[in-house]
Homo-oligomer: A and B are copies of this chain.
Amino acid sequence: MACPPCGSLLDYKTAKFSVTRNRRVGLLHRLLQLSTPRGGRSLLGWVLLLQKGYQERDAAPHVAVVTKVKGAAAAEAAGRRLWDAADLTWPPQGENVLFLVTHFTATIQQAQGTCPESPSVLDGMCTEDADCPMGNPVVHGIKTGKCLMFNATHSTCEIYGWCPVENDTLARKPLLAEAEHFTIFIKNTVHFTKFNFSRCNTLQTTDPSYFKSCTYDPVFNPSCPVFRVRDMVEAAGKSFGDLALLGGSIRILIEWNCDLDHPATQCQPQYSFRLQDTMYNFRTASYYWGSQRQLYRNLLKLYGIHFDISVHGQAGKFSIVPTAVSFGTSIAFFGAATMVCDLVLLYLDAKADLYWKEKFEEPEATT
């Protein structure tokens, strides 16, 4: 019995506590346990039920997105009167990024040669030839050394480059304003590898024509994955007309929050829309050979709405490991309250001396 190392493995050793009928410290202790955010939380009910501390989680699903744009818009511009989805979207391959043209400026039949620089380029302005040192690059080409009249009011340096220079006066009204009626079909699959569980946002119906005719509405049609462009722009807090003129960028957020302890049909995505930027344009050129074996290009500056689909998801499922962890963590946090009370009792209380002796018992062996 006296041999310490060989004490029976089945003896149960429980920590000795010293009971203090000190109501002030006792009250402080209970208050701290309940009031500290973690202390309050650590009540088992909270951690285990509300926070789903009993679930194993997977917050990094594999995500696949396919999009398809549908619609047709009438606009008299650039040799055509009608534009359909294949004319107005880019890239053709619908992925998680998508651009829909709403407005553009076209500079057709540019060829390489010399012409005056645009007056909108600051360092292309001149009053005499000396302002245009030969060989210096500007935005649209390389200066030839001459200063030319661009129009009645402006003189600009002559450049060698694609001529005529890009026309950058923008029509006051978006040329393709009807793009607001276009719809975007978004097919989104998430796969949670930890649980080998997949869901798709298009599986909730048995009627094959449903996705051909429905339109998403947050209240009446929250599970239809066909979105009207105008609705999305408005959900992001802008009017389509404003955004169409200079372009813009909108994030489509898809959030999956799946509790796999419930039936899979309850795991539905939530859609939201956020304006990211109020200017969006880029240039693209197409090249062709003219009759005299000369290379020409058509330069388009495209304004439009850039959609960027971002998918987040998490899934949880009951598991014994996180349950034990939540339980253990809860207990650990009560320790903080105990430490504060000990400090009060041992250093601040009137009878600190007595409590000190009680708590820290000195065996005779060491005195």
Binding site for B on A (CB under 8 A): 2, 4-5, 7-23, 25-27, 29-30, 36-39, 62, 64, 66, 68, 70-74, 79-82, 84-87, 90-95, 97, 99, 112, 122, 137-142, 160-162, 178, 181, 187, 189, 191, 209, 212-213, 249, 251, 274, 276-277, 280, 282-289, 294-295, 297, 299, 306, 308, 310, 320-321, 324-325, 327-328, 331-333, 335-336, 338-339, 341-342, 345-347, 351-363, 365-367
Which residues of the partner chain B approach A356 to less than 8 Å between Cβ atoms? Answer: 4, 7
Contact B93 A93 (CB under 8 A): no
CB distance from A135 to the nearest CB of B (A): 9
Bound together, the chains give a CA A62 to CA B273 distance in angstroms of 13
Which residues of the partner chain B approach A299 to less than 8 Å between Cβ atoms? Answer: 86
| With A91-B91, A161-B84, A295-B80: A212-B122 Cβ-Cβ less than 8 Å | yes
| Additional 5 contacts, C-beta under 8 A, given A7-B19, A21-B367 | A4-B346, A19-B363, A72-B137, A122-B209, A288-B289
Main secondary structure, interface of A, reads mixed
> Could you pull out 22 A-B pairs where Cβ atoms are within 8 angstroms?
A8-B26, A11-B26, A11-B360, A12-B345, A13-B19, A14-B17, A14-B355, A15-B18, A17-B359, A20-B366, A21-B367, A38-B324, A39-B324, A64-B308, A74-B142, A92-B282, A92-B284, A92-B285, A137-B178, A189-B276, A324-B336, A328-B335
The 7 closest A-B pairs by CB, nearest first: A4-B356, A10-B26, A92-B284, A16-B16, A358-B363, A354-B365, A12-B26
Candidate in A14, A72, A325, A362 with the most chain B CB atoms within 10 angstroms: A14
Which residues of the partner chain B approach A357 to less than 8 Å between Cβ atoms? Answer: 2, 4, 363
